Amino acid sequence: MSDNNVALEYIDLDLNDVEASDGSFETAHPGEYLFEVTAISGGQSNAGKPKMVITYKIIEAITDSDECQAEIEKEVMQSYSLAKDAKSDFPRRRIKALVEALGVELDKRGGFDPNDMIGARMIGEVKIEQYDDTNPITKMTTQKTSQKIIRERAD
C-alpha cells in the first residue's frame, strides 16, 4: 500500500438529516440579496494557506426579478483568506468589510470570534465570473465558474 492510501474504519458522519447531492455546483443568480450566516468552518486553500469558509442562506432577494426571487432559501458558500503573509492587505480588507457588515465586534487586537457571525445578517451582491484554470500536472486548461459575494453592508 502506498503512503497515500490509508485503511478506513467506521465513518461517523450522521447522514440521516442531509439531502444527497449529485456534486454539481449551482450558482445563485447575480443580484443583491439579504444573507444570513448559517455555518463557518476553517480549512486550507489549494496553496496551503489558512481560510475561513462561510455558508450563507439567502433570506430575501433585494433585486426585484423572478430569477432572484427563486433563490430564496438557497445556500451559498464563500471562502475568505486568513493568510497573514499575503502580498497585499486585500484579504484583510475583505474580512473587515464582512465583519462590519455583520455587526461583529473586534477585540483590542483587531480580532474576532467567528462564532459571533452565526445568525448575523447582511446585504451583499452575488457576482458570477468565468475564468480559465490550468491544471499544474496535466497542463490542461478548463473554463470554471466562480461565485462571489461582494459589496457587503449592514441590512
The DSSP string of 8-28 is -------GGGS----S---PP
Task: Look over the chain and give the mean of its residue pLDDT values, rounded to a whole number.
Answer: 89
Least confident of 22-31, 33-42, 65-74, 76-85: 22-31
Please report the DSSP string for 71-136 in residue order. Answer: TTT-EEEEEEE--TT-SSSHHHHHHHHHHHHHTPPP-TTS---GGGGTT-EEEEEEEEEEEEEE-T
Per-residue pLDDT, 5:
66
Of residues 21 and 105, more confidence is placed in 105
Separation of alpha carbons 140 and 134, rounded Å = 5
Separation of alpha carbons 146 and 9, rounded Å = 35
User: By C-alpha distance, which of 94, 125, 110, 155 is closest to 28?
Assistant: 125
Say if residue 26's pLDDT is above 90. Answer: no
Q: What angle do CA 14, 17, 22 make, to 5 degrees?
A: 95
Least confident of 73-82, 85-94, 113-122: 85-94
Say if residue 122's pLDDT is above 50. Answer: yes
* Residue bearing cell 467567528: 114
Task: Spell out the domain ranges in the chain.
Answer: 30-154
% of the chain surpassing 70 pLDDT: 93
Q: DSSP 3-state assignment of 100?
A: helix
> In one letter, which amino acid is 132?
D
pTM of the model: 0.79
> In one letter, which amino acid is 112?
F
Per-residue pLDDT, 1:
44
CATH 2.40.128 fits 30-154, yes or no: no
Take residue 52 and report the three cell numbers written for it. Answer: 475561513
